[in-house]
Amino acid sequence: MGRLIPLAQFLMDHSKWEQAGSLPIEDAPEYAIVFNVKRAKQLGIAIPTPLLTAADHVYK
């Protein structure tokens, strides 16, 4: 939920019907690699072990 506050501020600052190309690009202050192993198996997707060990969160 805390990530929505910077997004809301960004939208309020730049919501003057500007062209998309004129909006500044900002890098995410933080990010996470997350896998849902149960759903991946349901979809028939095999996630390689090196990716799973590099993940921040793995939901089984």
What pLDDT shows up at residue 44? 97
Tokens of 24: 């500044």
SS3 of 57, please?
A: strand
Give tens-digit pLDDT for 1-39: 456 677 777 777 666 666 767 777 778 778 899 999 999
pTM for the structure as a whole: 0.52
d(CA 13, CA 10): 5
User: What sign does the dihedral 11-17-21-23 (CA atoms) show?
Assistant: negative
What pLDDT shows up at residue 10? 72
